[in-house]
């Protein structure tokens, strides 16, 4: 079951690394200005840890944080670093999906995923067409539009997550998703494990050697 897997945790620079596998980045809510050389170097230092998998969360949020122009500058810095490290990017995005898609087309050289996606299947299709993965957190009593999105998503371009909201376990979310898509939980586990290894392809060998399942 997914509870017997290993979590991949998103943390902020300067924080203690919990567990074995982690991503780290400068979130738009907590980053008021363009990153200094020392802040970028800190990310590079973390990347030398064997458990480091990706930069993020980072991204754009029209509802919280500094101006969108400042957020764009900060995100571009982290995209450039991800390209340099050849590692994936975990994107937080609120009402700035067109900007993210434009940046992916212009600059993205590594895999990207939108964290906590809850929007409609039309937007989902646009993001998928740009090669951007989507991470979702199914829950009870979902609106029809989100159910339609979950039914539409291609199984090889998505992940399941808790979205840092633990009223439902990752196992519960596997059950909800598997029932919706009419597949067995074990099949879903295998699909998402393969997705994780493909997305984090630069660490695929250590992931496959070290994990028998994963929650993300």
Question: How high is the pLDDT of residue 81?
Answer: 98
For the chain, domains (ranges, CATH) are 19-203 (3.20.20.140)
Is 113 buried (19+), middle (13-18) or exposed (0-12) by CB count in 10 A?
Answer: buried
191 has a pLDDT exceeding 90: yes
The tokens for 55 are: 């930069």
The CA distance from 109 to 80, in Å, is: 9
Question: How high is the pLDDT of residue 18?
Answer: 65
Question: How high is the pLDDT of residue 1?
Answer: 37
Question: How high is the pLDDT of residue 91?
Answer: 98
* pTM of the full structure: 0.91
35 has a pLDDT exceeding 90: yes
Cβ neighbours around 64 below 10 Å, total: 12
Residue appearing with tokens 């059950």: 175
5 has a pLDDT exceeding 80: no
Question: How high is the pLDDT of residue 127?
Answer: 98
Question: How high is the pLDDT of residue 206?
Answer: 74
Span 16-42, mean pLDDT? 91
107 has a pLDDT exceeding 80: yes
């Amino acid at each position: 079951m997914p509870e017997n897997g290993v979590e991949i945790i998103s943390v902020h620079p300067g924080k203690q690394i919990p567990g074995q596998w982690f991503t780290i980045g400068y979130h738009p809510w907590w980053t008021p200005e363009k990153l200094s050389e020392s802040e970028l170097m800190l990310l590079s230092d973390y990347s030398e840890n064997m458990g480091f998998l990706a930069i993020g969360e980072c991204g754009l949020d029209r509802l919280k944080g500094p101006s969108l122009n400042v957020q764009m500058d900060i995100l571009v810095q982290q995209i450039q670093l991800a390209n340099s490290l050849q590692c994936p990017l975990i994107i937080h995005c609120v009402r700035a999906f067109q900007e993210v898609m434009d940046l992916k087309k212009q600059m993205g050289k590594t895999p990207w995923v939108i964290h906590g996606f809850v929007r409609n299947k039309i937007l989902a299709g646009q993001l998928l067409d740009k090669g951007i993965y989507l991470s979702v957190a199914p829950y009870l009593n979902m609106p029809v539009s989100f159910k339609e999105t979950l039914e539409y998503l291609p199984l090889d371009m998505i992940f399941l997550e808790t979205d840092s909201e633990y009223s439902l376990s990752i196992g519960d979310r596997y059950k909800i998703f598997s029932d919706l898509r009419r597949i067995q939980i074990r099949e879903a586990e295998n699909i998402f494990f393969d997705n994780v290894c493909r997305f984090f392809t630069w660490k695929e060998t250590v992931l496959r050697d070290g994990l028998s399942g994963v929650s993300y």
